[in-house]
Structure 1
Amino acid sequence: MAKSGLVLYIALVLLCSCFAWTQCAPGSALVTHLPGFNGSFPSKHYSGYVTIDPHHGKRLFYYLVTSERDPSKDPVVLWLNGGPGCSSFDGFVYEHGPFNFEAVKTQKGLPRLHWNPYSWSKVSNIIYLDAPAGVGLSYSKNLSDYLTDDLKTARDSHTFLLKWFELYPEFLPNPFFIAGESFAGIYVPILAFEVANGIDAGVKPVLNLKGYIIGNGVTDEKFDGNALVPFTHGMGLISDDLFEEVNRECKGNYYNSFSSTCHSKLSKVDQAIIGLNIYDILEPCYYGPSTWTVKAGKDRLPTSFRQLGETERPLPVRKRMFGHAWPLRAPVRDGRVPTWPELLNSKSVPCFNDEVATAWLNDKEVRKAIHAEAQSVTGDWELCTGRVLYYHDAGSMIKYHKNLTARGYRALIYSGDHDMCVPYTGSQAWTRSMGYKIVDEWRSWIFNEQVAGYLQGYENNLTFLTIKGAGHTVPEYKPREALHFYSRFLRGKRI
């Protein structure tokens, strides 16, 4: 064979092997085993770093779980957890990842991993991304990168996606969605906007963006701030009389009223809900509510809206079963908000237990298996870190939702209806405020012959959906139902 013919033959072989799927994926990123798990994987796993700024040594960590069904055709979904400052291994370990993690009884033992029958990798390829730099296993050698904001985070995540798809070009034809929960209600629409603008501008590679998914997401200061009082009344947590008093004195404005009488009535609401698990009012708290205070009105906004950029911020509360990144309001002691060290060394914060994920991701063998840097580079893995100083500078997300849905991108906004951290009442109100025509009037949706929640569909492919009995992290509380609506939305099917 002539030399030119041999070169052409080799090129064709490489091209064909790539189209045979996953052969183009970097071999060094393949995960072959995981400590704590025995057996073979039903689909391929890849993990590692994408360097988004070589001058600063800024590297974002990802973990890809390919679809167990048809990875060559199934959608690719980017998953982001919130915070700001929470690792997307939250979703991997506790929500919809491929494994269920079983804690061991011995103090130094690693968790045991079992297959999760309701993993979202049953129907999609899913990328768990730690972002921004400084979160989870992502890091930068220039500490100035740990001072960030909404727009910078979106730009960095967009850069990650472009470089990631260059590493995995076989996925470019697949439908692409961006998903997340909690403060990712900020991350997701801004990133989707960046991606959409890049597509329109002809940025290469061209991503096949189809839509986005947000669960119990922070969206708008006014709507989120006014959501708690209607929620507490609707759930029977405050009396009709108190609700009427609050409405009369606050005139429906619980978020930024300057009336001292309104504040007095809101204090009664605060007292009524002390001791409840804010992430699921049906569940007990992990430690206890003795020093935990939840506030109505402007002070009950997520920490992300109230104290961004401070060096001493309230603890980003998380759990094994109960909770997420930030509280409605930090516990107040002696008239002040305690510092990070005080809270981290205290067990008075309820619903906080990350022992399983922390033990697993700080194990040397686990880090080696998933191609993560050692603790000497990234520091200890924390579910929600205090390293990142984050500024919420993009304002309300409603303008982003209007832009994206008007351009034809599909949007699913879902809410666990027993979450008091980001109550469904706020999400229901802001989706309605978009002014879109209702095309699927409020109705129940069914799973396993039972009512699983309610939804309302709007024109421009916007859907608001509740999950009956679920808390803040829906796939954790209702994994079967979550997989059901997730898979149907990805396929464009009626839920």
Structure 2
Amino acid sequence: MAGLTIVSLLLLLAVPSTLAAPQDALITRLPGFDGTFPSKHYAGYITVDEDRGRNLFYYFVESETNPETDPVVLWLNGGPGCSSFDGFIYEHGPFNFESGGKPGSLPQLHLNPYSWSKVSNMIYLDSPAGVGLSYSNNISDYKTGDLKTASDSHTFLLKWFEQYPEFLTNPFYISGESYAGVYVPTLAHEVVKGIQGGAKPTLNFKGYMVGNGVTDTVFDGDALVPFAHGMGLISNDLFQEVNTACQGSYWNPVNDSCLKTLNKVDWELDNLNIYDILEPCYHSPEVREVVSDNSNNSRLPSSFRRLGETDRPLPVRKRMFGRSWPLRAPVRDGRVPTWPELGSSGVPCMNDEVATSWLNNEAVRSAIHAQPENLVDWELCTSRIDFEHDAGSMIKYHKNLTAQGYRALIFSGDHDMCIPFTGTEAWTRSLGYEVNDAWRPWYFNEQVAGYTQGYDHGLIFLTIKGAGHTVPEYKPQEALAFYSRWLAGAKL
């Protein structure tokens, strides 16, 4: 007991005497995996609105190290409309997924040596209702937005910790990427408000983490053109032309001349993979033909074939199709289009065959306690929801949370053109905090892995060299390194 803080001791005394996760949520097997789980896995639904039948699905992985004391970390993917199984399957979940070889065939699962469950307990949440495996009995609930999503996710957390009270004393963090740059701070705000208002159970919330996150229309929207110029994707002449025409403001064209030059930029970036400018974005109806490792089938010169490769033991996602995200802000009248609605102008350069075939398999659904496929179909990113961005800029949320002492790690893959690191660096600097760790490289395996700058109030900005929009997918080893160091409070 001597090592417990007063807060931890009080939380411990508040926990019911019977400490046990719900056994009906325990996962005992997974189709495609023949080994032994390195830790306990649980999954199921939490009902966040009994009257309307609104249910959020989660998959919980206990830490492989010390689940009794290791942090509990909630993971959220963005979209809006994308399932957090994206993170589970393609980024930092406990398994690497090997394609079964034919469309619709069941993939094979292998243990992931760079899973974030190596050092933390992980909750993967499909949110809001209508996304992934989460659903509502009232389809009007699929018209939603930032604030309702944060409120529902907070209700989920309170009910989840009621079912898993043994984790109440563990440090709790919220994390996510992309549009979760909105989900994370708005949910953190709800959690803090709940703690201060006496919501029970009391969460041991310590901070949050956002990767390549949507934050602010101006900072995010104005970052793309200078990023493209700095990366050598548009000429200096075109950059000077568009900068003059748009007066340095690119997210919202101020005149016809600005719009015309932005269209030129858009055309020059047209066939790039906006999520990682180093990776190809193919335009063939047959993904297997163009991504084959056989040099006879590759359209790329040999010197380019390994660009963007990681040390992940198995390939998990093949890049294909799509065009870069439009340069103009996609939000119209507060409403955010979901990924499938963007059609040919916004389809990600990816093939999600592995995830789709696994999560729409009847045996898998049964094993993870999910609704059958004929009731809830799984898509990586759905158009089922009608989503409104009603929380505004996230800068005020970040300022409020960090000013209260909650730790924040804001990280960026430096080759992502969807949410360029330059915009993220600019808004973190705009908070006005004193720099206490000046810009410097951080290292992994004695190599520069990126750059970081630390500020007062526990705010850290970090880049990951050579990574794209979904950092742990591109750089799994480096991602586990900065993640585990940050959770431990060690210097990055």
Say whether the fold is shared (TM-score over 0.5). Answer: yes
- What is the distance in 1 between the residues matched to 2:103 and 2:261? 47
Q: Is the 8 A contact 1:314 1:330 kept in 2?
A: no
User: For residue 387 of structure 2, what is the aligned residue in structure 1?
Assistant: 390
- What is the distance in 1 between the residues matched to 2:321 and 2:87? 29
Q: Is the 8 A contact 2:276 2:469 kept in 1?
A: yes
Tell me which amino acid in the other structure corresponds to 2:332: R
TM-score (norm 2): 0.87
Matches within 5 A, 1:329-340: 331=344
- What is the distance in 2 between the residues matched to 1:152 and 1:290? 33
Return the offset for 1:357: 0.4
Deviates more, 1:432-441 or 1:466-475: 432-441
Tell me which amino acid in the other structure corresponds to 2:344: P
- What is the distance in 2 between the residues matched to 1:123 and 1:55? 38
Deviations 1:360-399 (A, max 9, x none): 0000100000001112322x11011111111000100000
Matched, 1:156 2:182: no
- What is the distance in 2 between the residues matched to 1:369 and 1:290? 32
Q: Is the 8 A contact 2:97 2:354 kept in 1?
A: yes
Matches within 5 A, 1:253-332: 253-287=249-283, 292=323, 294-296=325-327, 299=328, 301=329, 303=330, 305-306=331-332, 309=335, 313=337, 315-316=339-340, 331=344
**Which one of the candidate residues 183, 189, 202 is aligned to 2:179?**
183
Matches within 5 A, 1:186-205: 186-205=182-201
Deviates more, 1:51-60 or 1:72-81: 51-60
**Which one of the candidate residues 440, 445, 448 is aligned to 1:448?**
445
Q: Is the 8 A contact 1:267 1:295 kept in 2?
A: no
User: For residue 425 of structure 2, what is the aligned residue in structure 1?
Assistant: 428
User: For residue 374 of structure 2, what is the aligned residue in structure 1?
Assistant: 376
- What is the distance in 2 between the residues matched to 1:129 and 1:159? 13
- What is the distance in 2 between the residues matched to 1:221 and 1:56? 33
Q: Is the 8 A contact 2:62 2:120 kept in 1?
A: yes
**Which one of the candidate residues 199, 216, 224 is aligned to 1:220?**
216
Tell me which amino acid in the other structure corresponds to 1:331: S
Tell me which amino acid in the other structure corresponds to 1:273: L
Matches within 5 A, 1:452-491: 452-491=449-488
**Which one of the candidate residues 407, 424, 428 is aligned to 2:404?**
407
User: For residue 114 of structure 1, what is the aligned residue in structure 2?
Assistant: 110
Q: Is the 8 A contact 2:334 2:389 kept in 1?
A: yes
Return the offset for 1:116: 0.3
User: For residue 54 of structure 1, what is the aligned residue in structure 2?
Assistant: 50
Return the offset for 1:306: 3.5
- What is the distance in 1 between the residues matched to 2:343 and 2:27? 39
Return the offset for 1:428: 0.9
Return the offset for 1:294: 4.7
Deviates more, 1:253-262 or 1:35-44: 253-262
Q: Is the 8 A contact 1:213 1:413 kept in 2?
A: yes
TM-score (norm 1): 0.86
State the secondary structure of the residue aligned to 1:284.
Answer: coil
User: For residue 299 of structure 2, what is the aligned residue in structure 1?
Assistant: none
Note closer, same or farther for the CA distance 1:15–1:51 as it changes in structure 2 (3 Å cut). closer
State the secondary structure of the residue aligned to 1:402.
Answer: helix
Aligned pairs, how many? 443
Q: Is the 8 A contact 2:81 2:338 kept in 1?
A: no
Matched, 1:41 2:54: no
Note closer, same or farther for the CA distance 1:459–1:471 as it changes in structure 2 (3 Å cut). same
**Which one of the candidate residues 61, 86, 97 is aligned to 1:65?**
61
Q: Is the 8 A contact 2:325 2:418 kept in 1?
A: no
User: For residue 351 of structure 2, what is the aligned residue in structure 1?
Assistant: 353
- What is the distance in 2 between the residues matched to 1:72 and 1:293? 44
Return the offset for 1:241: 2.0
**Which one of the candidate residues 361, 364, 378 is aligned to 1:366?**
364
State the secondary structure of the residue aligned to 1:213.
Answer: strand
Return the offset for 1:269: 1.4
Note closer, same or farther for the CA distance 1:314–1:171 as it changes in structure 2 (3 Å cut). closer
Structure 1: give runs of 5+ residues left out of the alignment.
Answer: 1-13, 19-23, 317-325, 333-342, 344-348
State the secondary structure of the residue aligned to 2:266.
Answer: helix
State the secondary structure of the residue aligned to 2:44.
Answer: strand
State the secondary structure of the residue aligned to 2:423.
Answer: helix
Note closer, same or farther for the CA distance 1:457–1:372 as it changes in structure 2 (3 Å cut). same
User: For residue 11 of structure 1, what is the aligned residue in structure 2?
Assistant: none
User: For residue 77 of structure 1, what is the aligned residue in structure 2?
Assistant: 73
Deviates more, 1:239-248 or 1:135-144: 239-248
State the secondary structure of the residue aligned to 1:144.
Answer: helix
- What is the distance in 2 between the residues matched to 1:86 and 1:233? 30
Matches within 5 A, 1:210-249: 210-249=206-245
User: For residue 319 of structure 1, what is the aligned residue in structure 2?
Assistant: none
**Which one of the candidate residues 108, 111, 129 is aligned to 1:133?**
129
Return the offset for 1:270: 1.5
Return the offset for 1:314: 6.3
Q: Is the 8 A contact 1:286 1:350 kept in 2?
A: no
Note closer, same or farther for the CA distance 1:273–1:106 as it changes in structure 2 (3 Å cut). closer
Tell me which amino acid in the other structure corresponds to 1:155: S
Return the offset for 1:108: 4.3
Return the offset for 1:353: 1.0
Return the offset for 1:293: 5.5
**Which one of the candidate residues 166, 173, 178 is aligned to 2:169?**
173
